[in-house]
Amino acid sequence: MVGALTKIMDIKGLKQHLTPFINLIKDSGVEYFWIAGGAIRDYFVTGGTTPKDIDIWFPDIESRNAVIKYLKLCEFKSKKLLPRDRGETFSLIKKSLPEKYIHLAKGSKYSYHLMDIGTWDGLSGECHTLTKTPQECIDKFAYTIEMGALDSSYNFICHPDYEHHISKNILVIKAKQDSFPRADNRRLLKYIDDGFTIDQENLLLWLENQEASFEYRRRLKNK
């Protein structure tokens, strides 16, 4: 599934691939933001052919809301609100896009079916501080293979082991607590289905995190 290492870390190709989305957001007048997570990983693993969403993050609520307002003025179709007032999701299905941006549609050059416009505060139920930079943002992701970002100035930011773990199909979990067990389960199963492996140490860490999450949810319910 994974190609040669030089293909995996084709940063120049990644920048070219995502330029139309960066241009779209800059059309709103907002200058600084970043694309992070699955869309970055997917480009390095498959060349961006896996159907999924693209996540675009902002350092503050004002910038995020300005972009959301612009997209709606352009007649992009909103699909849903993100949890915890994190932002909004827009459709990238061809019939949902304004003519000016039809080149972003799923099924043309791209496979993305949704675009998240958001601010990120991590997965923890007790964390409500917005991340202000790409580095802060990816530091709150669960797996090292998710910890890559490209900002609107075309700077690429990633975890020190990002390249190695993607090239070897390795799952390494960053310790975290108070997450969302069902979402975590689905994510782990998806990665294993995609050919990634997880060693005993990281599997034990994952299980410990699940136990901590269940306990946290139980306490919330009993308050």
Q: What are the backbone angles phi and psi of residue 11, rounded to the nearest 5°?
A: -65, -40
Q: Which of 84, 69, 148 is nearest to 122 (CA)?
A: 84
pLDDT for residue 84: 82
Distances (CA, A) of 97 to 73, 103, 104: 12, 9, 8
Overall CATH class of domain 5-168: alpha beta
pLDDT for residue 159: 95
pLDDT for residue 182: 79
Rounded CA gap, 153 and 131, in Å? 18
- Going from the first residue of the chain to its last (223 residues), give the mean pLDDT of each consecutive group of 10, the final group possibly shorter: 52 96 98 96 88 94 98 97 93 95 92 96 68 94 93 97 91 72 84 92 88 76 74
pLDDT for residue 220: 67
Domain ranges of the chain: 5-168, 169-223
pLDDT for residue 91: 97
Residue carrying the six token digits 């609520």:
61
pTM: 0.89
pLDDT for residue 3: 40
Reduced to 3 states (helix: H, G, I; strand: E, B; else coil), residue 134 is: helix
pLDDT for residue 136: 94
